[in-house]
Copies of this chain bind each other. A is one copy, B any other.
Amino acid sequence: MEEKKVVLRDLLLKHPADIAEVLSHLSDEQASDLLHRLYLRRAAAEPLGEMEPEESAELLSELDRTEAIKILSRMDPDDAVDLLEELPEAEQRKILSSLGRKEAEVLTDLLAYPPDTAGGLMSPEVVALSLNMTAQEAIDLLRRRVEEAETVYYAYAVDEQGQLQGVLSLRDLALAQPETRLSSLLMREVISVPVEADVEEVARLFDKYNYYALPVIDSERKLLGIITIDDVIDVIREEATEDIYGMASVPIEERVDTTWLSSLRMRLPWLYVRLGTALLAAVVVGVFEETIAKVAALAVLMGVIAGQGGSAGMQTVTIITRGMALGELEPRRGWRLLAKEALLGIVNGLVIGATVGIITYLWKGDYLLGVAACLAMLFVLVVGGVAGVAIPLGLRGLGKDPALASGIFLTTVTDVLGFGFLFLLARLFLPGFK
């Protein structure tokens, strides 16, 4: 915005991530003009690889196709695929058919893997060494391949069938005596990632083992590619954003700089979903309209009681779904968690129920109303705790993402049951209804 005229020479000295930042702050026209000038200096591919794929795809489609194709072929294949995935299929096919045959093949293979799996994350540009090389021969090979390889901090050794046999770090290689054979430097116990593994599982492996890169293999242990830790950081941040957004029913594509019209289109459907669940709870209240007309204090209590159930339940939901995301929740623990949360619900319910019961009695001087408030609070806190475990576990059992929908289900359950139980108690207990 500030920088009306970007001086190309200064810009070229910067890190590609900084150039990417400049590009995404310019107007569409200025950005495509700058990208064109970067292209002429062979400096367009790297910054594009640093941008969000939606952004880079939009920017690239502003250029004429021959330029776009040249830039794409200079990008790292994993970044190029992320970008291609954002384009309409017809455009994808046109670009793939204009690329060199080998390049097109690599990209077509990568496009076949779902984006949220190890295959969608990996780069195929991995150097495979053979077991009987010496350290020096390996270094010489890596030196020749340094330009295209995704990383040479690790190198993997394969047998004649292409099956992964071991790993060695460039550190070990560079620091070893030159004539040492790879087979004696090799670590045979390689942590590897199955190509179909979920990205969350990949993130957990990196988090646990602290490696900078992991090899990706197919079901026959053939080496397919490599995933580097910097790509995993993006995944972890994105997964966290997804989970946080899920809790508040925010559409996953929205960011602070989304235009208001797109925000409206994305948020309104969610607000209608919420409205639907709120109306469900309202129907319960509506059924007891007469009861409320007689004892208006119930209208005061109902929000407090159902709200506490929702709050306590959301604490449970949050701990369970986060535990799942971090891989800390062992599947067979379901029953123990349920028992724990039920117990917590009872104790919390007695303590908070007594508090609310006493406040109600002090306010209205009606001890039966106080007892009703206390019991309803106890009930709704147990419901919140139990539903807080059952809903996310149930959603996961059905193959759904528990972070996305648990909150809506939970508050519906605590509202409906909380209101219903309070009003039922009132009808049973309070003298006016006898």
Contact = CB atoms under 8 A, between A and B. Distances in A.
B292 A299 contact: yes
Contact of A343 (B229, B260, B326, B347): B260
Contacts of A424: none
A304 interface: yes
B249 A247 contact: no
A8 interface: no
Interface string A260-291: 10011001101110110011011001100110
A208 B47 CA distance: 11
Interface string A206-230: 1111111000000000000000011
Nearest to A208: B17
Interface string A345-358: 00110011001100
23 contacts: A13-B189, A17-B208, A21-B208, A142-B174, A153-B212, A206-B233, A236-B237, A237-B326, A245-B322, A248-B314, A256-B323, A256-B328, A260-B343, A271-B312, A271-B315, A282-B301, A282-B303, A290-B296, A292-B296, A293-B296, A299-B299, A302-B303, A303-B415
Contacts of A248: 247, 311, 314-315, 317-318
A102 interface: no
A26 interface: no
Contact of A268 (B234, B236, B257, B348): B348
Contacts of A352: 268, 271-272, 275
A83 to B, nearest CB: 17
Contacts of A333: 256
A171 interface: yes
A60 to B, nearest CB: 20
Interface residues of A, number: 105
Interface string A88-109: 0000000000000000000000
A247 B355 CA distance: 25
A240 B244 contact: yes
Given A248-B318, A279-B359, A255 B174 contact: no
Nearest to A307: B278
Contact of A303 (B207, B303, B340): B303
A302 B298 CA distance: 13
Q: How many copies does the complex hold?
A: 2
A143 B135 CA distance: 15
A236 B240 contact: yes
A390 B307 CA distance: 24
Contacts of A320: 256
Contacts of A285: 299-300, 303
Contacts of A347: 264
Interface string A145-187: 0100000110000000000000000110111000000000000
A370 B344 CA distance: 42
Q: Which among A142, A270, A311 has the greatest number of chain B C-beta atoms within 10 A?
A: A311
Nearest to A328: B256
A315 B13 contact: no
A272 to B, nearest CB: 7
Which of A206, A255, A256, A271 gathers the greatest number of chain B CB atoms within 10 Å?
A256
A299 B302 CA distance: 9
A133 interface: no
A233 B239 CA distance: 13
A329 interface: yes
A209 to B, nearest CB: 5
